[in-house]
Chain A
Amino acid sequence: MPEKTKSLVEMMDELFERMERSINEILRKGFMKPSFDLRHCCLEPLVEISETADELVVVYDLPFIKDKNDIEIKATPRSLEIDAKFKEPIKLEKWGTVQKETEFKHYHHLIRKLPVEVIPDKAISRFKQGLLEIKLPKIKPYTIEIE
């Protein structure tokens, strides 16, 4: 009988592990998080983060943003936040359900924890064809000499 009890425990462990993996997968894919926020009338833009040896490069796709002056970028060594205002509010007309009732006024995106520490005041950015590229130089580690 002890063998059977052990096997049951193992099966339960396996089941819980599988459930945890599934929940994490669902959360990772963002099923629970729509790409718009009705309360703040904002849309979440598509974003891509890549790294070179010296920089962290973050690119946002911002269709309907025409002017770089409508974009605000805030950065700290560990976070990045952008807000881009539409000249005219965007209404999604016949698309979807709840979102078609809303007039969206801006894009907003916050990266609470960048993958590496950066130097925000040395960052450079450009805006071309609705794409915003932000290059954030990485903090270089100090070299410590051995006495």
Chain B
Amino acid sequence: MSSIDVKINVGEIKTEKPYVLIGLPDVGLIGVISAAQLIKSLDMKPIGSIDSDQLPPIAVIHDTVPMGPLRVYAGGNVILVVSEIPLPPALIRSFSKEVVKWAKSLNPAAILSLAGIPVPNRMDLDQPGIYTVTSEPAKNMLAKLEAMQVQKLEEGFMAGPYASILNYCIAEVVPNITFLVQSHMNYPDPGAAAILLEAIAKFLNVTVDIEPLLEQAEEIRLRMRDTMKRTRDTMQQVDKAQEYEIPAFYG
């Protein structure tokens, strides 16, 4: 299998034992919505970008400033990897491998994935639940998660970029906690992202203002339609619908 070149352009990071958070376009755009709010709320600063020949030639412009779509931010003991465009399926493995390798070099407290898990009855759920999946080296954080009353995902499938990151964390023996909030699959879900951020803030012991997500929920849903449409295309290619299914092995 030929590997695809992924370059992480970030200078030296001096933060000891940082938490590395990952926010990518996926189910309900949970990762992107959460990441955008974290950047604002924790006043995080851009510290670098991620590039690959497999990425489409895209520049994003925010407040007149052009930038690449895959960026790295830092604030306090938190490093955040975020993408504003869905990762091309052919890039997912190489991206995950390089990001995990790079994060491991920072001797992180853990990699935290900000993800959603699709539920068909989301329309009827006022308070979506949160599930977590932890890699072996993150087992020492289970008590903390239990105290937060988040549930462990006992049986199920994960598909897409967060599954790939989890797999490389297992292979590289890096602590990973994937937070999966119940959400819409094909619509931006700021309400679910707010619930996820509450849990993340509690876990990191920081204050994150989630009010803007609730107040501007309709605006977020409207402006993220196009990103959601493109993400839906890539989710189909990685067979995201498999997350509704039950694995074959039984005990």
Binding site for B on A (CB under 8 A): 29-30, 35, 43-46, 48, 59, 61, 63-64, 90, 92, 95, 128-131, 133
- For B228, what are the chain A residues with a Cβ–Cβ distance below 8 Å? 46
- For B123, what are the chain A residues with a Cβ–Cβ distance below 8 Å? 59, 128-129, 131, 133
> How far, in angstroms, from A24 to B135 measured CA to CA in the complex?
41
> How far, in angstroms, from A63 to B190 measured CA to CA in the complex?
12
What total count of A-B pairs have CB within 8 Å?
A: 42
Closest to A126 in B: B123
Chain B contributes a number of interface residues (CB within 8 A of A) equal to 19
> How far, in angstroms, from A92 to B187 measured CA to CA in the complex?
19
Q: Given that A128-B123, A131-B123 are known contacts, is A63 also in contact with B218, CB under 8 Å in the complex?
A: yes
Main secondary structure of the interface of A (DSSP, over half): loop
Interchain CB contact (< 8 A) of B187 among A35, A61, A128? A61
Say how far B30's CB is from chain A's closest CB, in angstroms: 15
Determine if B218 and A131 form an interchain contact, defined as CB atoms under 8 angstroms apart.
Answer: no
Closest to A31 in B: B230
Say how far A26's CB is from chain B's closest CB, in angstroms: 12
Say how far A48's CB is from chain B's closest CB, in angstroms: 5
Determine if B221 and A61 form an interchain contact, defined as CB atoms under 8 angstroms apart.
Answer: yes
Determine if B222 and A35 form an interchain contact, defined as CB atoms under 8 angstroms apart.
Answer: no
Interchain CB contact (< 8 A) of B233 among A29, A46, A129? A29
Determine if A30 and B222 form an interchain contact, defined as CB atoms under 8 angstroms apart.
Answer: no
Determine if A46 and B229 form an interchain contact, defined as CB atoms under 8 angstroms apart.
Answer: yes
Say how far A106's CB is from chain B's closest CB, in angstroms: 13
Interface residues of B in 207-229 (CB under 8 A from A): 217-219, 221-223, 225-226, 228-229
Determine if B218 and A35 form an interchain contact, defined as CB atoms under 8 angstroms apart.
Answer: no
**Shortest Cβ-Cβ A-B pairs, 9 listed:** A63-B218, A63-B221, A61-B187, A48-B186, A63-B222, A64-B218, A131-B123, A35-B225, A46-B225
